[in-house]
Structures are given as structure tokens and as C-alpha cells.
A and B are shown apart, each in its own frame.
Chain A
Amino acid sequence: MSVTATIDGKSVDIREGESILEAARRCGAEVPTLCYDSRVDPSASCRLCVVKVDGRRLPVASCAHALTADMNVTTSDDELEENRKTILKLVLSENPTEECRSCIERGPCELHSLATDYGVESDYYDGAISGRIPEDSNPFIARDYSQCILCYRCTRVCNELEQAHAIIPEGRGFGTNIVAPFHESLLGSNCTFCGQCIQTCPTGALMDKKMLGKAVAEDVTKVRSICPFCGTGCGIELNVAKGEFIGVTPDWDAPASAGSLCVKGQFGIDFIRSPDRLTTPLVRRDGVLQPATWDEALTLLVDKFQTVRAESGPGAFALWSSARAPSEGNFLMQKLARAVLGTNNIDNCSRT
């Protein structure tokens, strides 16, 4: 019994549950997609991933079909490429022609990268532009559906992955709009502001409002880190421009989260830029906390510690570490307690 198929002349092993698209990409074929997000069911909307399969009258959407034994698949030929190009021209034609803000600020979006790959500009097939822009003052997500290509990634991610059921396509055909049912603004809707819709959007239709206008793509570096809020430990990328933190994007390779984030990890990191941050040590003088130098503060601290240790021994100390601080700080606090002060009175706040 054969357990292989052929893709572009190469023999490929069949893997349970794998689509033609995934198999083709696995063996190096470049199949374009716009509506594909591996985490949710395919909607087979963009029709860019169509490939020819022997025995099928029409090309099939490779994202939505399993690779099965003995299939003979062609992922690219003149006709396929020509039609892909036409489809790209069509979707570009439903968006305004001004420069895409995602491309400017986040780097080339999926739509425009593909367009560049295919040598397609946006001035083909002049006609009506689709997408109603809601009046939405929410502080997190910018929604400009004139840029939307109705790939339904945001709505599938919101409904299938996040299961927030906040946004959904409303209406039919060219008149379809992405809406939060009964709500113009996402505030007050089911939206949890997980930001997942922004992250999957292949165009500039959904943008992180907090990052909007903060920097141009060339100036942004992404530094991998871990969300500092809950124990899930989602992977994040800290976006930094000119030394300033400007926002968060998910780390798609993080094992626990695989690209997902919640509102805290996605939009909650700007506390680090708060003007309330402590910037110098404070010491209590005349009953009031007043700024001091590190040397002043630590001299005071160490003097006091030495005195108390001499007078009352290690049992007079208690150190409470932080379940929020990095482990290295925790380790050294415990070393301070055990190795320097000589006490095991070290605890952490995990109990609350």
C-alpha cells in the first residue's frame, strides 16, 4: 500500500491530518496564502493556495484539503500563477491606494509582500472600495476596514481560538463587514482585547492603537521576553524603537502560548513607562521618604543590618521575595538571607 503522494514531482510521505498546503510547504514549495492561519480551521477564502490535483476538474484549495495517498499535486504553473496574480489585483483593488500604514510601521504586511512578490501594484481594476469603518474609541485596537480584505482570519481567531465571539462577518458578499454584533465600539462588546485579531491580520486593517504612529518599521527591534503577569508565561516580543519600549507582539514560537496573548500581555506592558516609576532610592528622614543616592541608602541599610545582626542574631531578619521578580533576584535574596545574614526566614508571596 502506498503511503506517499507526489508534489511538484517530488515524493512526499503522508502525515495524518496534514493539508496539501502544509505538506507542500514542508517540502519546500512556495504556496501563497492570505487567509491561512494554522491555528484555526481554514476558511479557504483567498483562493491563492489553489493547486492542481490530477483527476480534479478544477484546482483545489490546498489549505482545506488533506493530502492523500497517490495524489499528484502541482503547486505552480503559468495558469495557476496568472490566476493568483489576478486575485491579488482584485483584492488590492478593493482597498484605498494610499500607502499601507502597516507596511510603514510594522514592516511589509502579508498582502503587500505578496503583491511585491507577484509584481502587482494597486492600480488595477479600479472600482468600489469595500469596508465600513466603525466609530470605535477603544484605546487598544485601530480598525480601518477600508484596508480589510475579508480573509476572516480575525473572526476565526476571535471565535475559534480565543472563543471570545466578539467580532463576526455581517452581511453578504461585497457588502460583508466585520462587526462586533450590536456594538459600534469593541468596548462593551464581548471583546477581551487579547489583540489576537491584530496579530493575525494580513493587512493594515487592524493595528495596535498603542503603537500607532510611534515609529517606522526600520527603527523597530524586537526583543524576546516573557509576559510578567500570570503563570502561563506567554512569550512576547518587546518592540523597541530608539531605546523606547513601544509595544508588544507575540512570540510565535513560545511553547506555552504559541503566539496567543491576553489583554495583559498584549496591552498591559506599558506600566514600565509609567511616570510613577521609582527612579532613585528613598530613605526616611524626619519621618518622610526622601530621595537619596544608592550609596547613602545602602550604607544606611547595611549599617542597620550589621547592628541588628550583632545585637539580635539572624532570627531578627525576615526577607520576602517576589513571585513576580526574575529568579536571579530571588536567588540572590535567598543567598543574602542564608549565606550572609544566616537565616532561613525567607519566604515569597506565592500564597496570595
Chain B
Amino acid sequence: MAVMVGRGAMTNSIAELENAKLIFATGTNTTETHPVLALRVKRAVARGAKLIVADPRRIELTGLADRWLRLRIGTDIPLYNAMAHVIIKEGLYNKEYVERRTEGIEELADFVKGYTPQVAEKISGVPAEDIIATAREYATAGNAAIIYTLGITEHSCGVHNVQSLANLGLLCGYFGMESAGVNPLRGQNNVQGAGDAGCTPNYLPGYQRISNREAREAWEREWGVPIDPNPGKTKISILDEIMEDKVRCVYIMGENTAVSDANVLKTRAALDRVEFLVVQDMFLTDTAKMADIVLPAAAFAEVDGTFSNTERRVQLLNKAVEPPGEARADWEIFLDIINRMGYPLHYNHASEVWDEQARNSPILAGINYDRIRMQGIQWPCPTTDHPGTPYLHKEEFFSEKGYFQPVPHVDLAEPPDAEYPLILTTGRRRPTYHTGTQTGRVDGFELLVPREGLEVHPDDADALGIADGDLVEISSRRGSLQLNAIITDKSPEGVVFMTFHFPEGVLTNILTTDAHDPVTETAEFKACAVKVAKVTEPEEIPASG
């Protein structure tokens, strides 16, 4: 989305969702991944908002929806393109807005001509009349909000998915409107904050491109050292560079890469191979076990600091308890290392670290700890008297205009075939979080989702001779593992589902593919080809690679 309107963050606020007249939720199992945000959606529905859900799987939201577009996995683009087709063809788009604020409508119109609802129906399985009705309702709602999560981005075509979706918002003038917009829901608590802080290879803090000389110079002045003007390498490229021995030291903070990565065996091979691995974490995770040095980190409750949530709100953490033993706040550890590396540096308090980040990041410059003591502030917030920005693009985009992006449909990176006839898709469940490093250590949570299972459609189960609870072996081109089958029609025929929360028992990402989006390098978690067979002799070891 960044190439279209200059920013990839949630355009609007969580609370605003409640007043949307229509919510188009696509590829988001919001009630499980963002339960409290989902309450806003539920309340909007209770107030009479229309809810349209596009998802291959039956989820809680589909039960609340006025319409459920059950598209085939990986066919988002034709669906959205066909909606754009209808909106343009029927003249339902916001002409004044498109005229004044966007560029590229002709190209888009031309491009989506081929994506008739009928064509999209063939590819996606969504009936043409549902596509048409959705397009009409979305365009004429007055204010319609799109929300999406990993279901859209965790594909090898993630960026294109988002762009074809954002085209719709741009067409209808929903960028820059209250209770509307196009809203990616960030999965983890501080994805936004890590991005804000410049933890990406091509952006300095505050989303300033590394290639932007002015920004670079500001930071160079701040730090007193030159900054490499070339973008760094993404994680996925680094894995290859490790295998080529180009990268020798890897420092991982608070991430269980060895479990959560797609095609995790490849990651493990790289971490095994790397010469020197430092892991900073609260727990001895599977990743930490591979390290040469493990540094004990304090938990959020043991430090002062900030998280930025998915609506760009910088919020304050206050230290409540002491860290156990000698564990230290992340920033203090880095401060120590930086000094030891011969770069003298001193902060009295976490707030000074924040202030340094903020003063050279125009979108954060107005935010400081004192201002957010009671309530967080949403960036952009350029000055200390600026109230923050509940929704983006009100008057203008970050880029000069809104640029439409015609994007073509591409097939799944790894479509099912004769040998691997099923599609595996992965997801989350509410009481568990990510790899379970934290939630796996909460008393009582084990009762909520007692055991991971592989969800298999009853028809597939019949064909494979699998009964509920049977031990099955699921294999992809990369590996295989065993677990129990749960027979349910939540996923459509031909699709099996599991989560990646339980590394101890079941290492889901042994199976997933690391085919990735060429721009963001996000891997295709949401679809890989697998086969499933009943295991006759139960084995003791559940995972075998």
C-alpha cells in the first residue's frame, strides 16, 4: 500500500470501526487474532452495519456476516479486481475524489476490464452476483471500512493482494474518511513500533527511506557517524547469505525464528551454520537453544517503554515489577553493548531513548512520555501541541497523489498436484499467541486448546479413510509430521488447517513454503501443497523432519 498512498499502516482508528456503515473483512480471523478489536466490528453489526466477509474458512465472523464470500485460497486479486470492474463500469466510484486526488484510473479501468465478475467467479469460486452485490454495497455505503490481516499478506503475492484491495478504497474515496479506510491489522503488539523505530532494512526511524538524503543526514548529525545509503538485506536474503558464509554474526531479539519461520528447517539450517548467534529473550526458546550467547531480557511489565498499536498509537508501558535475577531491559543491554563497542552513549531513562527517536522522525516528533502518560497518541504527530491523527490521508496522501495499481492474478506458488493434492493453510487461535513462548507458560491456557490438531474436511476425511481423532501424517515437499485429525467443515474441501502455536508437539512450519513476496519477502504461510495419510502404527515422536 505504501507505493499507493505513501503509508502501509492502518488508515483509521479501532474505535472508528464501530461507526462504519459497511465493513469488508477479508483474510482476517479478527475474533481470534484481535478479539477486542473484533468487538468493534460486532458492535457495528449490532448497530446495523453491513458485514461482508471474504474468507475460505468458516470463522466466527462469517457467522455474523450479511454475506460470506467463500473464495478459494489465493484468489483475492481476481475478486477485488472484479469489484473494481463493477464499481468502474457502473460509475459507482467517487469521481470528484478520483479526479482530484488520484492518478492512474484509466490504466486501472483498462486493466480490470478483463476481470469481469464471471471471470472472477471461475477463478475464485465466489458467485458473480455476490461479487456484484458486494461491489455495489461497498461503493455506495457512504463510509465503508476494509480490514485485513495475514490472510491477505501471508502470501507470495501479499503486496499485490493489498494493492488490489487498496484500489477499491481509492476508487470510492474511503482513504481520508472517518470510519472508513483500508486497515491492515497488525498481528503482534509492537509490529508498528518496530517499524516506527526503523527496524527494517530500507527505512530509518519514522519511515524515512534510507535513500532519503535529508533524513539520513539528520540521523548522521544525531549519531555523529555516516550511514550506509544502501538498503540492508531482509531476513530471507540473510538466510541465503549465511549459507554462503557471507553473514557471520546474527543477533536475534525476542523472536522464536526457529519455530515461526516458514520452511523452518531452512532457517534452522542457517542458524546452525552461522558462526556466531546471539539471542536475547525472556525464555530459552528453541532459537535461543541454538545460540552462542543468550542474554536474559526483561518483560514488558518490568520496564518503562512504549508499544505502538495497529492504529499507530504510541502507548506507554510503566515498570511494575523488577525483572527476575539479572535480566535487563532490552534497551539497557544494547546501551551496554554500544558503549563496549567504543561508542560512548548515555541515557538516564527509556524516555530519553524515545526522545532521540522522536526528534528526528517528523511523524513522531510531537510525542513524548509526558504526553502519553494517560492516553497514547496516534502518529503523525509532528509537534507537541498536535493532538495526533485518528485517520490518515484526510487532506492529502503521504505521496503526492493516490496511485492506482493494476495487479494481475497469479496462481499459488505451490498449487496442489497429484502427489500433494491438498492445500495446507495456517492460522491462530485466540488463547494462544504466536509460537506459544508466552501463552504456553500461562496457567490454565492448556485447558482452552488442549491439543493441536489438523482440521480436515469431512469429504476429504472420507476419501482418505480418516476418522475424527485419528493420528495422521501430513507431508509437504519439505517435511512431514504427525498429529491428530479433527474432522470439521470449517475449511472447504481440499484444504486442511492447523496453527503454529505448539512447537513442543507439532512444528507446523516444517511444512510451509518459504516462497515469498518479492517486495516484502513475506512468506506464503497461507498455502502450501500437502498430502495427508492415516498412520496405522502410532509413533512416539510426533515431529520428524
A residues with a Cβ closer than 8 A to B are 138-140, 160-163, 187, 192-194, 210, 223-235, 238, 240, 243-245, 253-258, 260-265, 267-272, 274, 276-284, 289, 294, 297-302, 304-306, 308, 312, 314-352
Contact = CB atoms under 8 A, between A and B. Distances in A.
Contacts of A240: 320-321
A318 B249 contact: yes
Contacts of A271: 299, 438-439, 441-442
Contact of A304 (B249, B282, B303, B324): B249
Contact of A347 (B186, B201, B241): B201
A346 B441 contact: no
Main SS class of interface, A: mixed
Nearest to B436: A271
B243 interface: no
Contacts of B296: 277-281
Interface in B225-247: 225, 227-228, 230-235, 238, 241-242, 246-247
B283 interface: yes
B278 A345 contact: no
Contacts of A225: 300-301, 316-318, 320
Interface in B294-318: 294-297, 299-303, 305-311, 313-318
Given A325-B330, A339-B343, A226 B309 contact: yes
B123 interface: no
A308 B195 CA distance: 27
Contact of B194 (A163, A281, A322, A338): A322
Contact of A223 (B235, B320, B354): B320
A305 B331 contact: no
Contacts of B309: 226, 231-233, 256
A328 B355 CA distance: 10
B232 to A, nearest CB: 3
A329 B331 contact: yes
A277 B327 contact: yes
A327 B306 contact: yes
A36 B308 CA distance: 32
Interface stretch (B33-41, B76-84, B463-471, B477-485): B33-41
Nearest to B45: A163
24 contacts: A163-B42, A224-B318, A226-B189, A231-B185, A231-B186, A232-B35, A270-B443, A274-B441, A281-B295, A289-B284, A297-B293, A305-B341, A320-B235, A321-B253, A325-B190, A327-B308, A328-B330, A330-B190, A330-B194, A331-B198, A332-B335, A344-B210, A345-B247, A348-B194
Given A278-B327, A322-B255, A326-B303, A334 B313 contact: no
A193 to B, nearest CB: 7
Contacts of B235: 318, 320, 347, 349, 351
B300 A228 contact: yes
Contacts of B185: 231
A346 B198 contact: yes
Contact of A343 (B42, B190, B228, B335): B228
B520 to A, nearest CB: 6
Given A233-B309, A256-B15, A140 B37 contact: no
Contacts of B282: 272, 277-278
Nearest to A315: B246
Contact of B190 (A327, A340, A346): A327
B294 A281 contact: yes
B14 to A, nearest CB: 5
Nearest to B278: A301
Interface in B272-304: 275-276, 278, 281-284, 288-289, 291-297, 299-303
B189 A227 contact: yes
A333 B353 contact: no
B257 to A, nearest CB: 7
Interface string B38-70: 010011001000000000000000001000000
A134 B237 CA distance: 57
A253 B374 contact: yes
Nearest to B377: A255
B250 A320 contact: yes
B340 interface: yes
A45 to B, nearest CB: 20
Interface residues of B, number: 143
A255 B188 contact: no
A228 B193 CA distance: 12
A244 to B, nearest CB: 7
B255 A329 contact: no
B188 A324 contact: yes
Nearest to A248: B301
A326 B333 CA distance: 13
A152 to B, nearest CB: 17
Contact of A340 (B46, B187, B246, B338): B338
Given A264-B439, A316-B246, A347-B234, A245 B255 contact: no
List 6 A-B pairs, minimum CB-CB distance, nearest first: A279-B325, A233-B309, A329-B330, A344-B232, A326-B305, A322-B254
Contacts of B522: 351
A327 B307 contact: yes
Contact of B322 (A243, A324, A331): A243
B37 A210 contact: no
B91 interface: no
A227 B315 CA distance: 10
Contacts of A312: 248
A162 B35 CA distance: 9
Nearest to B238: A318
A172 to B, nearest CB: 26
A243 B303 CA distance: 14
Interface string B178-200: 00000001111111111111111
B389 interface: no
A138 B238 CA distance: 46
Contact of B330 (A224, A262, A333): A333
A322 B297 CA distance: 12
B438 to A, nearest CB: 4
Contacts of B356: 331
A259 B176 CA distance: 28
Nearest to A187: B447
Of A210, A274, A284, A351, chain B has the most CB atoms within 10 Å of the CB of A351
Given A231-B188, A323-B194, A326-B305, 14 more contacts: A225-B317, A230-B34, A232-B36, A280-B325, A319-B253, A322-B330, A323-B255, A330-B199, A331-B197, A338-B223, A344-B210, A345-B238, A347-B199, A349-B188
B376 interface: yes
Contacts of B303: 326
Contacts of A138: 444, 447
Given A276-B441, A322-B253, A329 B223 contact: no
Given A298-B336, A347-B232, A348-B195, A228 B189 contact: yes
Contact of B443 (A139, A262, A320, A352): A139
A253 B232 CA distance: 40
A317 B250 CA distance: 6
B305 A328 contact: yes
Nearest to B33: A230
Nearest to A268: B442
Contacts of B431: 193, 263-264, 268
Nearest to A234: B36
B319 interface: yes
A302 B340 contact: yes
A238 B301 contact: yes
B350 interface: yes
B189 A233 contact: yes
A231 B305 contact: no
A255 B194 contact: no
Nearest to B187: A231
A336 B248 contact: no
B425 to A, nearest CB: 15
B121 interface: no
B253 A333 contact: yes
